[in-house]
Each structure stands twice: as structure tokens, then as C-alpha cells.
Amino acid sequence: MKGSVVAGVMLAAASAANAGGAVDISVADEALRLAYDATATRTGMHVNLSGLHHTHEGNIVGAGLHAVDVRNRNTNLFIGVGAKLFAFDTGNFEDVNGDPFSGSALGLGGFFRYSFRVQPDVSVAAYAYYAPPVTSFGDADNFINTDWRLQYNLIPAARIYGGYRYNSINLEGVRHDYRLGEGWHVGLTMDF
């Protein structure tokens, strides 16, 4: 059910953006992340939809809206700034009533990808978002979502990568931050 909803939203966003996009798939031992990105060709509006599932730690879904520079396509740096709305649940980590913690957060941040001039097939990429207490809701007091990657272009429209993901949620009534899906992962990004 959740997968059908995410797929439907991704297709709707692709139509609304009226542009090509990218599908990103990353895996770790017990985690799977799927994401879709698209930039409207003339406006610089960038949309992002993502979902992370961890077999024990829970789920995070997100939808973001960013501004990107579309004036110069021949640059080694692609950067976007904006906001992303997240919703999460903590899976097997439960409160005193036996229910998983859940909530939402509106994070500010952005992303970048930099291709090295001496070897343009190699690039580094990252995204980071922070939601302070004022934009964190439900069981969340604050929310951090980050990912750092080293990528290699297999072909012009496909990159493989290895990276490290860090998601931290400060939960109400819990002493330590909850880390959901944190760790090393590998993945594939396909542009179309």
C-alpha cells in the first residue's frame, strides 16, 4: 500500500515538473531508500520525493521543494536550496504504550553535486536538512537528515556511489537521539 502511494505521488510530481528527472536507489544490509528528483527546465524549481525503509528502525518519507540555478548547464557544481517535509515512524522502537514513535518535521537545507575537473566522471554529492523544535511535530523535538556520497559515472545517464547516511531524531521523553537508517550504503542514480 505505502509503495503504491509513493509511486503515484512520484509520477504526479514528474508530470507537474514537466521535465526529466532522476531515480535514486540505495541499499544497506537492512535499509532501502528510493528517491525521485526533477527540475522544471525553465524555472529552476526542483522537486524531490523520497522514502527510506529500515526493517527494524522504521520509515521516513519526504517531499522537498528547492531552487536551483539552471542558467549554466556546463558547470561542475549543481546546487539547490530549499525545504523538505518529512514524516517518520520508529518501527520496533516503541513508547511506554507499545506504539512506535511518529511525527513530522519541516527541514531547511539543500543539496549539491560537484564533478572534479580533472576527472569529471568522479563526483561528490551530499544533502542536509535540519528541522528545529518549532518545525518538528508529533513525537519529534528536532530532526536531522544527511547523506554524503562519492559517485562514479558509469555512463552519462547513470552513476554508482557509496556513501554514509545520518538521520537523527530527538524524540520527546527519550534521553538519546534516535538514529533511523544510519550507516554506509551503496546505490545507483539514473537520469532520464
The string of pLDDT tens digits covering residues 20-47 is: 799 999 999 999 999 999 988 778 899 9
Number of domains in the chain: 1
CA gap 87, 53 in Å, rounded:
12
For 96-139, the pLDDT digits (tens) are: 788 899 999 999 999 999 999 999 999 999 999 999 999 999 99
**What DSSP state is assigned to residue 99?**
P
pLDDT at 3 over 50: no
CATH number at residue 23: 2.40.160
- Give dist(CA 130, CA 60) in Å, integer: 14
Domain residues for the domain of 16 are 2-191
Beta bridge partners of 78: 113
Cα 80 from chain centre: 13
Query: How many whole angstroms separate alpha carbon 124 and alpha carbon 146?
Result: 14
CA distance 82 to 84: 7
Confidence of residue 7 (pLDDT cuts 50, 70, 90): very low
Query: Grid coordinates representing 54?
Result: 529500515
Contacts of residue 123, defined as CB under 8 A and 6 or more positions apart, other chains included, come to: 113, 114, 115, 116, 150, 151, 152, 153, 159
Q: Pairing between strand 136-138 and 100-115?
A: antiparallel
Average pLDDT over residues 72-98: 89
pLDDT of residue 94: 87
